[in-house]
Amino acid sequence: MSGIAYLGPPGSYSEIAALVWGDATTPLLPRATMPAVVAAVETGAARHGVLPIENVLEGGVTTTLDLLIHETALRISGETVVPIRHVLVARAGTQLPHVQVLYGHPQSLGQCRHFIERVLPGVATVASLSNSTAPVEALADARSAAAISTERAAELAGATIIARDIQDRADNVTRFIRLSHVDHPPTGDDKTSLCFGFSERDRPGILVDTLQEFSGVGLNITRLESRPSKDVLGGYIFLVDLNGHRDDPPVAAALERVRRRVGLLKVFGSYPCWHATDLHANAGGTAAAGTP
């Protein structure tokens, strides 16, 4: 079992993130969908899998979150953050006023909303599976088509860049996680990701009381969001990131107290914290938190 599975084809931001955890001898294994990345690790076709989990503009990546909650027992063993610099690509000679259709991954379309509204108003949009497939689909379209892509994907597809840095914010970044069969041993500077849900409904203070099991002992929650439970309307699963490793005694004790309060508790894993000082290095695919 070797290699790192990622959302491909080559040229995607997921490939950039995968390169952070690999070297010249590490096979990179592109997969067509996020569930396929998970399946590659589960079946032993890959040692690790890399998935996007959070973007500074669009928030949580719902497919990844739902996979973690409902569909896999794999553990998060690392995290990294990759700068996102979107380009608009098309056939050579295509002019912006002539574009009739725009291809892009749903997250990328959302991250470039201002550009689309101002420069391509009324242009039909088509969702692509990745930033790598988008330029390929645009080039195959008989209409005057463009795509949101990465520079590397444009080069691989043979597309021409007609606009650069079209994301809504210059500091656009995406956080990626590495999935493995086991999470990372404690390092002294760790993060734990988990989710929980309640079997009872609508009791005042139920969420606050649960979160206080962490804050009451000085554990810092760095991220909190919710996803539908998918079992009943109005039911939600809450996702939490907190500082500390699940094996640290204060974290382990808090998790046990939370377990007694909730109907569901699933720890996704503990792993070294990524820090903003790593961002410049990650732009070139050379540094990450969670590298063994």
Where does the chain hold its CATH 3.30.70.260 domain(s)? 190-272
d(CA 276, CA 55) in angstroms, rounded, equals 15
What band does 285 get if pLDDT is binned at 50, 70 and 90?
very low
Length of the chain: 292
pLDDT in tens, 86-122: 999 999 999 999 999 999 999 899 999 999 999 999 9
The CATH class that applies to domain 4-84+172-184 reads: alpha beta
Where does the chain hold its CATH 3.40.190.10 domain(s)? 4-84+172-184, 87-164
Q: Which residues are catalytic?
A: 174, 176
| Mean pLDDT value across the chain | 91
H or E stretch at 259: helix 249-261
- The domain made up of 190-272 has a fold known as Alpha-Beta Plaits (3.30.70)
d(CA 84, CA 82) in angstroms, rounded, equals 6
Give me the phi and psi of 211, to 5 degrees please. Answer: -65, -30
What are 64's two structure tokens?
């990844």
Residues 6+ apart with CB under 8 A from 21: 4, 48, 50, 78, 80, 178, 288, 290, 291
d(CA 34, CA 177) in angstroms, rounded, equals 12
pLDDT in tens, 220-259: 999 999 999 888 887 899 999 999 999 999 999 999 999 9
Q: What pLDDT score does 39 carry? A: 97
d(CA 260, CA 101) in angstroms, rounded, equals 52
Q: Write the DSSP assignment of 31-99 as a string of letters.
A: ESSHHHHHHHHHTTS-SEEEEEEEETTTEE-HHHHHIIIII---EEEEEEEEE---EEEESTT--GGG-
End-to-end CA distance of the chain: 16
Residues 6+ apart with CB under 8 A from 277: none
The DSSP output letter for 138 is H
The DSSP output letter for 219 is P
d(CA 150, CA 124) in angstroms, rounded, equals 20
Query: Which residues partner with 191 through β-bridges?
Result: 243, 271
Q: What pLDDT score does 289 carry? A: 60
pLDDT in tens, 160-206: 999 999 999 888 899 999 999 999 999 999 999 999 999 876 677 88
Q: What percent of the residues of the chain are helix, what percent strand, and what percent coil, each to the nearest 5?
A: 30, 30, 40
Q: Which CATH number fits domain 87-164: 3.40.1800.10, 3.40.50.410, 3.40.190.10, 3.40.50.150?
A: 3.40.190.10
